[in-house]
Amino acid sequence: MAAVGISPDKPATQLKFDQKHTLGFPLLSDPDKAVAKAYGAFGPKTVGGLKKEGMIRSAFLIDEKGKVAGAWYKIKPEETVPKARQVLESA
Calculate mean pLDDT across residues 12-23: 92
* Domain extent at residue 63: 57-91
Same domain, 17 and 34: yes
Single-letter code of the amino acid located at 13: T
Cα(21)–Cα(40) distance, integer angstroms: 26
Q: Coil, helix or strand for 67?
A: coil
Reported in sequence order, the residue ranges of 1-91 that DSSP labels E, i.e. its strands, are 5-7, 27-29, 42-47, 50-55, 58-62, 68-73
Report pLDDT for 72.
96
Distance of CA 7 to the CA centre of its chain: 7
Same domain, 14 and 45: yes
61 burial (CB, 10 Å; 0-12 / 13-18 / 19+) is buried
Same domain, 21 and 41: yes
Single-letter code of the amino acid located at 59: A
Cα(91)–Cα(87) distance, integer angstroms: 6
Same domain, 65 and 80: yes
Domain count, the chain: 2
Same domain, 26 and 48: yes
Per-residue pLDDT of 30-58, as tens digits, reads 999 999 999 999 999 999 999 999 999 99
Same domain, 3 and 29: yes
Same domain, 68 and 31: no
pTM of the model: 0.81
